[in-house]
């Protein structure tokens, strides 16, 4: 019998609560981990600052608009990393080592169990800095913030998170077939990095790929262009639908892979 969603959610939250308690036992370690990511984020902004000070704008995008764009990518990415870090080791750590059998035997949705198996609260540091970057950038750019535009921003962030998670899930599911798929996950992650800059800087074929095949543009560039009031960007309002479709497709690939999985045979 499939466990109910509420029961699965309750078990998932209980697992995360335990992990938080474990991590909090080693507070200094937690702080080191969180701080390390703050350093990483700061260097990204420093890079943008150095470049923009030299060239002025990047195809009309100034520093704060680029920082806002980066924030729209960083928040979903860090949220996904916090809750779905296990996906990175599905192939190597679970399928190849037979650890997935352990998850299949438990009375909890396998995907939920996988996601709760590795939880690093240190990613909270990255989430907080990403949000700070987004908020500070939003304050400096030319957007008339209202309840409506804030709600739209939150919707775009939620869609971006779902999209990024779905891409990662689809890529991770290839682990059922190819085992060591870590490189593929790096490939997808690198593709997502393209969303850090305005996609107009890329050649047209790449723009098409980033919009319709790996729809990162719907997570970053299109929403920020729409919020900035750039013409011809109403397509950004399709972001939640694109996120939903991506999630359905990714979950389908996951289920297909799980059916294909035959166990470690030990």
Cα torsion at 245, 262, 117, 241 (round to 10°)?
0
Q: Helix, strand or coil for residue 56?
A: coil
Q: Is 27 in the site for other proteins (CB under 8 A)?
A: no
Q: In the complex, what is the shortest distance from the CB of residue 122 to other proteins, in angstroms, rounded to a whole number? A: 5
Q: Is 32 in the site for other proteins (CB under 8 A)?
A: yes
Best CA proximity match to 89, nearest among 165, 13, 179, 15:
179
Q: Among 101, 108, 124, 182, which residue sits at the site for other proteins (rule: CB under 8 A)? A: 182
Q: Is 233 in contact with 226 (CB distance < 8 Å)?
A: yes
Structure tokens, 216: 């990162």
Q: Which position has the token pair 């195809």?
A: 59
Number of neighbours of residue 141 by Cβ within 10 angstroms: 19
Q: Among 1, 28, 204, 213, which residue sits at the site for other proteins (rule: CB under 8 A)? A: 28
Q: Is 201 in the site for other proteins (CB under 8 A)?
A: yes
Query: 182-193 and 147-173 are packed helices; what angle lies between their axes, rounded to 10 degrees?
Result: 150
Q: Which position has the token pair 């790929």?
A: 209
Which positions from 92 to 131 touch other proteins by CB under 8 A, shown as an x/- string? ------------------------------x---------
Q: Is 47 in the site for other proteins (CB under 8 A)?
A: yes
Residue number, 135 or 187, with CB nearest to other proteins: 187
Q: In the complex, what is the shortest distance from the CB of residue 37 to other proteins, in angstroms, rounded to a whole number? A: 6
Residue number, 195 or 223, with CB nearest to other proteins: 195
Q: Is 186 in the site for other proteins (CB under 8 A)?
A: yes
Q: Is 3 in contact with 107 (CB distance < 8 Å)?
A: yes
Q: Among 26, 212, 256, 260, which residue sits at the site for other proteins (rule: CB under 8 A)? A: 26
Q: Is 141 in contact with 65 (CB distance < 8 Å)?
A: yes
Q: In the complex, what is the shortest distance from the CB of residue 31 to other proteins, in angstroms, rounded to a whole number? A: 9
> What DSSP state is assigned to residue 2?
P
Q: Is 203 in the site for other proteins (CB under 8 A)?
A: yes
Residues 53-82 that bind other proteins (CB under 8 A): 53-55, 58-59
Q: Which residues contact 70 (CB under 8 A, 6 or more apart)?
A: 44, 45, 48, 133, 137, 196
Rule CB under 8 A: which residues touch other proteins? 26, 28-29, 32-37, 39-40, 43-44, 46-47, 50-51, 53-55, 58-59, 122, 178, 180-184, 186-187, 190-191, 193-194, 196-197, 201-203, 206
């Amino acid at each position: 019998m499939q466990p109910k969603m509420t029961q699965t959610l309750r078990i998932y939250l209980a697992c995360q609560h335990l992990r938080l308690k474990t991590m909090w036992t080693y507070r200094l370690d937690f702080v080191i981990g969180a701080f390390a990511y703050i350093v990483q984020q700061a260097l990204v902004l420093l890079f943008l600052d150095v470049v923009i000070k030299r060239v002025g704008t990047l195809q009309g995008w100034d520093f704060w608009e680029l920082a806002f764009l980066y924030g729209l990518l960083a928040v979903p990415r860090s949220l996904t990393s916090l809750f779905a870090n296990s996906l990175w080791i599905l192939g190597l750590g679970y399928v190849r080592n037979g650890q997935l059998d352990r998850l299949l035997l438990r009375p909890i949705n396998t995907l939920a169990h996988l996601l709760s198996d590795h939880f690093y609260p240190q990613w909270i540091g990255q989430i907080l800095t990403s949000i700070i970057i987004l908020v500070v950038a939003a304050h400096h750019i030319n957007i008339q913030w209202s309840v409506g535009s804030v709600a739209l921003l939150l919707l775009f962030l939620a869609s971006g998170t779902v999209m990024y998670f779905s891409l990662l899930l689809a890529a991770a599911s290839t682990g059922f077939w190819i085992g060591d798929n870590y490189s593929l996950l790096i490939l997808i992650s690198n593709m997502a990095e393209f969303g850090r800059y305005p996609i107009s800087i890329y050649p047209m074929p790449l723009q098409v790929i980033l919009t319709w095949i790996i729809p990162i543009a719907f997570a970053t560039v299109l929403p920020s262009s729409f919020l900035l009031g750039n013409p011809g960007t109403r397509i950004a309002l399709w972001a939640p639908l694109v996120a939903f479709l991506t999630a359905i497709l990714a979950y389908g690939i996951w289920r297909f892979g799980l059916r294909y999985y035959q166990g470690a045979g030990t």
